[in-house]
Amino acid sequence: MNGSIVLAGALDTKGAEFAFVRDLIQARGVPTIVVDFGVMGDGPFAPDISNREVAAAGGRSLDELRSAGDKALAMRTMSDGLTSVVRTLHAEGRLAGILGMGGSGGTSITTAAMRALPIGVPKVMVSTVAGGDVAAFVGARDIVMIPSIVDVAGINRFSRTIYTNAAGAIVGMVTQAPAPARDEKPLVTASMFGNTTACVDHARTLLEAQDFEVLVFHATGTGGRTMESLITDGFIAANLDLTTTELADEVCGGVLSAGADRLWAAARRCANGAGAGLRRYGQFLGARHRAGVLPGTHPL
């Protein structure tokens, strides 16, 4: 394992809870970096990265936020600041995973930073809102949401168990040995729904026979957003987007929209020059089709 577990939260209201989890993690021999984004006061112990540093990273001073008394401004600033801090820690190789605990406000701030991290980086959020619709918090990232059961306010017979489980979960994630390396094949994404299943399954079989690895996403809104995020992050060589119903839901007011940016990720990567791989594999597959190597399919 390289790096530390980042513990992000508001120490002015949840300092004792974070101290408890920090000690559990450190007792397992795993280092921590505590980041404080509380605004109205200081916590019971000194964090590794202070709330003043987080506020500055968000473009404001902590004194300015305190004097303004504007909760929306404070949350926006600390969200931007924590995201910047977390990105920097990850880029420097100091972040092995991240754990947050909080109510709705803390969850919003912490998960915004988590969504800025690549897929595969361990992310655990203990939250009072984890039992409801968490789509706005998780987005298209692999964030593990743990219901706090009781409020994140004190250490009692119930919260002690939840905090201990969360600490064990993040420690297990960051200390788990990586999966054995294999020869990596070019990745192709494909969108699928019930009425395109037969077509996508057939295309997937043909592509896999030609040494491509195909990732299929169900066009339920979340599936499309996740697919687009992987393309944006540069993981994908080609995109077989046969199921565009999520865009129809966006335009016509359906319930499975993937947002107004659906279909744009591949186009943007190609337009800004970062999508050379997408163009190259698209041309490659088209050439294979014309040569009869992929019978029955159409060029991408």
The domain that holds 236 is classified in CATH as 3.40.50.12030
Query: What is the domain count for the chain?
Result: 2
- Any domain includes 300: no
Q: Which of 33-47, 57-71, 99-113, 280-294 has the lowest mean pLDDT?
A: 280-294
Judge if 145 and 265 occupy the same domain: no
- Predicted confidence at residue 270, as pLDDT, reads 76
Same domain, 106 and 196: no
CA distances from 89 to 84, 129, 298 (A): 9, 27, 44
Residues 13 and 104 in one domain: yes
**Residue 295 clears pLDDT 50, i.e. is over it:** no
pLDDT at 299 over 50: no
Which residues form the domain of 270? 187-290
Q: Interior CA angle at 70 toward 68 and 73, to 5°?
A: 105
Q: Are residues 255 and 155 in the same domain?
A: no
17 and 159 assigned to the same domain: yes
pLDDT at 300: 42
Same domain, 35 and 117: yes
* 121 and 44 within one domain: yes
Let me know if residue 87 belongs to a domain: yes
Instruction: Return d(Cα 112, Cα 229) in angstroms, integer.
Output: 15
In a domain, 49, yes or no: yes
Same domain, yes or no, for 110 and 205? no
**Which residues, other chains included, contact 180 with Cβ-Cβ below 8 Å and sequence gap of 6+?**
none
Domain annotation covers residue 253: yes
pLDDT of res. 292: 58
56: in domain: yes
- Residue of higher predicted confidence among 50 and 280: 50
Rounded mean pLDDT, 227-256: 90
pLDDT of 140 reads: 87
Task: Determine whether 161 is exposed, middle or buried from the number of CB atoms within 10 Å of its CB (0-12, 13-18, 19+).
Answer: exposed
CATH number (domain holding residue 89):
3.40.50.12020
